[in-house]
Structure 1
């Protein structure tokens, strides 16, 4: 649950929903955490820089409904012995599918590890626990998508003043426009830019090309409400 402090109105994010606590510090590898969600959000632990990137990419894809880290799945080996495997990230998608991701750099992917993942995948699908189980490596990180996901994350909190102004400007878009043109019409400079980015994230406007979101980015209006 989120904790509300009556004196200041501050609400802390919900605790992680993962079944295993991630490390909060290490001398050998990156550890960290994110808060996902538009309001107070929920904590999401990561144990590598690649995991952090994977979480940002998956969380801000339009096909993602929900994302949970460290989801426990019990699997058995060829001798019938059971083990717990903690899936790094599980994505609930808009098409109804549930997809698990094992996040690991290719330099640490061995044949034995791939055989283990294949066995877990077969059992998870057979038990209707997942619809798919995939390896996520550095090869799956698109710099453009990561830039935009990071931008979406940085502006995720709504602005009660700027957002309605940007929405009114968006209603008057006819044909192709640019992000910069919309920002100029808001008259809010940086606040306006962040509000326009949120409209891209919400699907009110759509980019014409897969590129880093900048003032020169061309957009079209897709919906008003």
Structure 2
């Protein structure tokens, strides 16, 4: 018998914490907000498509806790001796307490010596008061598989309690590695979907055995299962 689906309503998300305002709209630019988090949802803004992909990939990294955009400006000394101010695009915080400042730039800008020198000066000024380390992210750092899976995790983030419980029961009986398609077939009568499997993978009840998109052919196993590869 198929269980009645449960609907999970997210609380009202907290407003963006950006110190430097992000435009609500901009002709020719990809700007906007998305919401991360379940119990305490939080809005986070982006001012370009590269910022969006950076942010959503960061939010679904293992151990992620928080992401804040457009922090208060960091004062740093320029090469000519003047004082400059830089707004970090993001600061990601992880469960182990690590705070990573993120500067998002297209690769043709990020590789310029003057930009690299400025980022080094910003890092020297910001560590350890504001961040623990600084990362420069370009489009070359966005892995297509990670981006695909992060978007899926995001779309599937709302719990569906009956489905999630059904997946936990299937997980206990797994004889070994199986495909996502196998899980969907086993759980069809219980309403198991690709979104439910994605939640189980992100929640670490299941694990991907290869770096691949979460699709029907993807190979998964129970997270506590020892798999010889």
TM-score, scaled to structure 2? 0.85
- 8 Å Cα contact 1:183/1:189 also seen in 2: no
Q: Which runs of 5+ in 2 are unaligned?
A: 1-8
The structure-2 alpha-carbon separation of the partners of 1:190 and 1:18, relative to structure 1 and needing over 3 Å to count, comes to farther
1:115 alignment counterpart? 117
SS at match of 1:161: helix
Contact residue 72 and residue 84 of structure 1 kept, 8 A: no
How many positions carry a matched residue from both structures?
A: 215
**Shift, 1:207, TM fit:** 0.7
Structure 1 stretches of at least 4 aligned residues deviating more than 6 Å after TM superposition: none
What CA distance in whole angstroms lies between the structure 2 residues aligned with 1:11 and 1:96? Answer: 26
Using the TM superposition, name which of 104-113 and 20-29 deviates more: 104-113
RMSD between aligned alpha carbons? 2.2
Displacement of 1:80: 6.4
Quote the Cα distance in structure 2 between the aligned partners of 1:74 and 1:188: 55
Q: Deviations over 1:85-126 (max 9, x none)?
A: 22111111233321111001112333322221110011112x
> Aligned runs of 1:127-146 on 2, under 5 Å?
127-146=128-147
Secondary structure of residue in 1 paired with 2:34: strand
Higher strand share goes to which structure? 1
**1:97/1:10 CA distance change after superposition, 3 Å:** closer
SS of equivalent residue, structure 2 residue 15: coil
What are the ranges of 5 or more consecutive residues in structure 1 without an aligned counterpart? 1-8
Residue of structure 1 in register with 2:3 after alignment: none
Q: C-alpha separation between the residues in 2 aligned to 1:61 and 1:76?
A: 30
Q: 1:194 to 1:188 in 2, by over 3 A?
A: farther
Distance of aligned partners of 1:190 and 1:145 in 2 relative to their CA distance in 1, 3 Å threshold = farther
Distance in 2 separating the partners of 1:89 and 1:191? 35
Distance in 2, matches of 1:165 and 1:51, equals 36
How far apart are the structure 2 equivalents of 1:83 and 1:53? 28
Per-residue CA deviation, residues 39-66 of structure 1 (Å, 9 max, x unaligned), is 5611110000000000111110113222
Q: TM-score, normalised by structure 1?
A: 0.86
Contact 1:90–1:100, Cα closer than 8 Å, also in 2: yes
Aligned residue in 2 for 1:17: 17
Q: State the match for 2:157 in structure 1.
A: 156
Question: d(CA) in 2 for partners of 1:81 and 1:189?
Answer: 65
